[in-house]
Chains A and B, each alone.
Chain A
Amino acid sequence: MNVPMTPPIRLDAISKCYRIFQNPQDRVKQALVDRFQGVLGRKNASPLYREHWALRDVSFELQAGEAVGILGRNGAGKSTLLQIIAGTLEPTAGTVQTKGRITALLELGSGFNPEFTGRENVILNAQILGLSREDALSRFDDIAAFADIGDFIDQPVKTYSSGMMMRLAFAVQTAVDPMVLIIDEALSVGDMFFQAKCMNRINKLLDSGVALLFVSHDIGVVRQICKRAILFEAGKIRSVGGTHSVTDAYTKLVLEGYNALASAQKIHGDDGLNYGTVGITEKSKNIQPNFDQTGTNTSLMIGYEDFEKISAFNRTGNFDAKILNVQVLKCGSPAIHFDFDDEVVIKVIIHFLKDLENLNLGIQFRTPIGTNVCFFDTRLQGEFGRRYEGGQTYVFSWGLNLRLQHGNYLLSCGMSHPPIGDGCDWRFVDVVSAAYQFSVAPRSGGMIDGFFAPKAKLLITAVEPALL
């Protein structure tokens, strides 16, 4: 049993260079030039393309039964790597050695033809992966049962929701006895129950010796599945090792990215900051020294660009005061991935254009489908009647523990004047329905089976039968 075997995947110094052409025709022209340059005696004609190195000198091995997480920001080369391993792309340099059948869920619906029905796609897909038609037909019932999409199996795949597509693709890819399974950002589409079902099957496959390459931005899931992880940055391997250290490195990388953005804004303060119709650029430059309450090198404007981007979609109010930025800080720096019970500080930075009184600031956590999970506001904290000065910028900070179920959350916040008397109504100053996104990883000591786990005291005592 313990004979050393050749690993299912061995990559040796893989590089991939994309030639970026203005249009597809130039590619053929270039090919002709490359071929006949010598014949014509004309050399060093300037190339018709730009080079883009998506991967440089990447080497690693994947062992049987091993699950490896692939992390990296967008454009780090993850997808290119997976395509090379799956065999749909040729590396520019280096060698790929693979053993056995490799199946891949690259984005959605890997290899489905949208015009074909689910049934036809299942059979064709299985055949593409190397099964005979008879073999494919005999496994169809199992595949359909796992995907569990009902009558849709006989509808064209183009009518499927992304969730159904993923179900069917996952069912096929895992049912054809792969040696290596590649999953790229796909599982997040399914509902919780199906995700659990997938996890179950993934674990079974891993136990039976299948190797898994798992790409996700969801650090929680990566930590749950993979023991080892690889972090890519700009086409190179930045770190390899245990999942926890690599995911931490990834988080750090993402935050550094934000920081770089923020410092770039500081340098180009005048043109970088655009507050629309409200002209408060001058004031906002002075925010940092006045209100930096926590860390040494954090800025209240970190993440400002993201905030502007996501808040722009749905924002209402009279804008007598404007929310400049919202941050959720962990250990003093803004973060988007949290563990259960993390101590966080939520900061809302608001610039007031007028003197305002009777003001309430509320915050909500919502799930992606819109369930309000949590709510708190300034009144709950006993904060009434404060007078805010026009022209001044304030930071509202809440300290709390994130005792939330794992998953993705949207933070929304809004400033408004509560009704003063009967017949009066709320008046909204600035309501941002999407202000910040964050995720909470599954609790390591056991899942939270509800949205929220309040802090509670537990007392267990034995009761005398006589008292009953």
Chain B
Amino acid sequence: MNKYSINSAIFSLYTNRSLLRSLVIRDIEMRYRGTTLGFLWAVFYPLMMLAVYAFVFGGVFNARWGSSGGMKDFVLMLYCGLTVHAVFSETLTRSPSAILLNPSYVKKVVFPLELLPISHLASAIFNTLIGLGLLCVFLLIQHQSIPLTALCVPLVFFPLLLLTAGLAWFFAAIGVFFRDVGQMIGLAMSVLLFLSPVFYPASSAPALAQKLIYLNPLTYPIEELRAVLILGNQPDWRHLLAYLGVSIVVAIGGLWIFQKFRPAFAEVI
């Protein structure tokens, strides 16, 4: 019945998958078009960032992972955190302007607008895949093997991506009406980089913060990624399931709000 229901949006993600593919391919191409290094940047950039963080935190501040472990372990753990944070912040930073920057898709054609935040998520996933590939290379260099539990990596990422999608829909819709959202998100993402256990293990946070840190949406994915990919432990299935439940609620909630505000987009932009 309802033209802008949650079901119709989920259905449209499927029916418009070829359009989504075109949007994502173009988005990724655009980022490197005209550069001399081209796609090498996709590899070069995260490596440089990693080098800077490793130098500052591992080299200058002399941070080590837990009590033991050397500089190389620190880099592996750090990179897990950065990869998770990157997919989240990359998508959300772009989401408030996802609709705003495409007025012609709002006003002039019937465009499946729900694809726009998702296309940003998909191109962030592309970077994540590169990041995970690099991680595997590091692992091979470091430990000469990749634990079997690495097969669980998609399971660790899936709830995070659902959550990110939900928030991206939410901020895309809200960003149309409140332009401040774009500024706020940028700030929030920088703060989140330090409040999440990216540069330190969750267990080394002070006692009071121990409980709070698990309210951070990035804590579980970061910790679980480290567990399955580097330490070779099984994911904490109970945590994972709970996280998945929350993610589904957030995803549906975000999409619901997106669809709710959608008819007003054309009148505001």
Q: Which residues of A contact B (CB under 8 A)?
A: 18-19, 24-25, 27-28, 31, 83, 86-90, 102, 104, 106-107, 109-116, 120, 123-125, 127-129, 132-133
Which residue of the partner chain, among A104, A115, A124, contacts B108 with CB atoms under 8 Å? A104
Q: How many contacts between A and B, using CB within 8 angstroms?
A: 79
Can you list 20 A-B contacts with CB-CB less than 8 angstroms, sorted by A residue number?
A19-B267, A24-B177, A25-B177, A25-B178, A28-B261, A86-B108, A88-B266, A89-B266, A102-B110, A106-B108, A111-B104, A111-B109, A111-B111, A115-B30, A116-B26, A123-B22, A124-B19, A128-B110, A133-B19, A133-B22
Given A27-B177, A90-B263, A111:B105 Cβ within 8 A: yes
- Report the separation of the CA atoms of residues A113 and B23 in the bound assembly, to the nearest whole angstrom: 11
Across the two chains, which residue of chain B brings its CB closest to A135? B18
Across-interface contacts of B21 in A (CB, < 8 A): 133
Given A24-B178, A115-B30, A88:B107 Cβ within 8 A: yes
B190 at interface, CB cutoff 8 A:
no
Across-interface contacts of A129 in B (CB, < 8 A): 109
**Residues A109 and B104 in contact, CB atoms below 8 Å apart:** yes
Given A25-B178, A120-B26, A88:B104 Cβ within 8 A: no
B34-58 CB mask vs A (1 if < 8 Å, else 0) is 0000000000000000000000000
**Residues A87 and B104 in contact, CB atoms below 8 Å apart:** no
B106 at interface, CB cutoff 8 A:
yes
Given contacts A28-B178, A87-B110, A88-B108, 10 further A-B contacts (CB under 8 A): A19-B267, A31-B261, A106-B107, A111-B105, A111-B108, A113-B102, A125-B109, A128-B19, A128-B105, A128-B110
Across the two chains, which residue of chain A brings its CB closest to B107? A88
Across-interface contacts of B82 in A (CB, < 8 A): none
Task: Tell me the smallest distance from the CB of A119 to a CB of chain B, in Å.
Answer: 11
B264 at interface, CB cutoff 8 A:
yes
Across-interface contacts of B104 in A (CB, < 8 A): 109-114
B242 at interface, CB cutoff 8 A:
no
B191 at interface, CB cutoff 8 A:
no
B268 at interface, CB cutoff 8 A:
yes
Across the two chains, which residue of chain A brings its CB closest to B19? A127
- Report the separation of the CA atoms of residues A69 and B211 in the bound assembly, to the nearest whole angstrom: 67
**Residues A24 and B176 in contact, CB atoms below 8 Å apart:** yes
Across-interface contacts of A132 in B (CB, < 8 A): 18
Across-interface contacts of A116 in B (CB, < 8 A): 26
- Report the separation of the CA atoms of residues A224 and B195 in the bound assembly, to the nearest whole angstrom: 68
Most buried by A among B21, B23, B178, B267: B267
Which residue of the partner chain, among B3, B105, B266, contacts A113 with CB atoms under 8 Å? B105
Task: Tell me the smallest distance from the CB of A100 to a CB of chain B, in Å.
Answer: 13
Task: Tell me the smallest distance from the CB of A133 to a CB of chain B, in Å.
Answer: 4
Across-interface contacts of B261 in A (CB, < 8 A): 28, 31
Across-interface contacts of A18 in B (CB, < 8 A): 267
Across-interface contacts of B106 in A (CB, < 8 A): 88
- Report the separation of the CA atoms of residues A104 and B108 in the bound assembly, to the nearest whole angstrom: 8
**Residues B109 and A88 in contact, CB atoms below 8 Å apart:** yes
Main SS of the interface on chain B? helix
Task: Tell me the smallest distance from the CB of A115 to a CB of chain B, in Å.
Answer: 7
B173-202 CB mask vs A (1 if < 8 Å, else 0) is 010111100000000000000000000000
- Report the separation of the CA atoms of residues A124 and B108 in the bound assembly, to the nearest whole angstrom: 14
Across-interface contacts of A109 in B (CB, < 8 A): 104, 108
Given A24-B268, A113-B104, A124-B23, A88:B177 Cβ within 8 A: no
Across-interface contacts of A24 in B (CB, < 8 A): 176-179, 268
Across-interface contacts of B19 in A (CB, < 8 A): 124, 127-128, 133
Across-interface contacts of B268 in A (CB, < 8 A): 24, 27
Across the two chains, which residue of chain A brings its CB closest to B265? A88
Task: Tell me the smallest distance from the CB of A209 to a CB of chain B, in Å.
Answer: 22
Across-interface contacts of A127 in B (CB, < 8 A): 16, 18-19, 22
Across-interface contacts of B263 in A (CB, < 8 A): 90
Task: Tell me the smallest distance from the CB of B108 to a CB of chain A, in Å.
Answer: 4
Across-interface contacts of A27 in B (CB, < 8 A): 177, 264, 268
**Residues A133 and B18 in contact, CB atoms below 8 Å apart:** yes
Across the two chains, which residue of chain A brings its CB closest to B15? A130
**Residues A28 and B177 in contact, CB atoms below 8 Å apart:** yes
- Report the separation of the CA atoms of residues A102 and B110 in the bound assembly, to the nearest whole angstrom: 9
Across-interface contacts of A87 in B (CB, < 8 A): 110
- Report the separation of the CA atoms of residues A236 and B106 in the bound assembly, to the nearest whole angstrom: 25
- Report the separation of the CA atoms of residues A107 and B179 in the bound assembly, to the nearest whole angstrom: 27
B207-231 CB mask vs A (1 if < 8 Å, else 0) is 0000000000000000000000000
Across the two chains, which residue of chain B brings its CB closest to A109? B104
Across-interface contacts of A124 in B (CB, < 8 A): 19, 22-23, 26
Across-interface contacts of B30 in A (CB, < 8 A): 115
- Report the separation of the CA atoms of residues A110 and B108 in the bound assembly, to the nearest whole angstrom: 5
Across-interface contacts of B108 in A (CB, < 8 A): 86, 88, 104, 106-107, 109-111
**Residues B266 and A83 in contact, CB atoms below 8 Å apart:** yes
Interface set, chain B 16-33, CB cutoff 8 A to A: 16, 18-19, 21-23, 26, 30
Task: Tell me the smallest distance from the CB of B164 to a CB of chain A, in Å.
Answer: 23
Across-interface contacts of A102 in B (CB, < 8 A): 110
- Report the separation of the CA atoms of residues A113 and B19 in the bound assembly, to the nearest whole angstrom: 14
**Residues A88 and B178 in contact, CB atoms below 8 Å apart:** no
- Report the separation of the CA atoms of residues A133 and B264 in the bound assembly, to the nearest whole angstrom: 30
Across-interface contacts of A89 in B (CB, < 8 A): 266-267
Across-interface contacts of A106 in B (CB, < 8 A): 107-108
Across the two chains, which residue of chain B brings its CB closest to A157? B104
A-B pairs, 3 with minimum CB distance: A111-B109, A87-B110, A24-B177
Across the two chains, which residue of chain B brings its CB closest to A112? B104
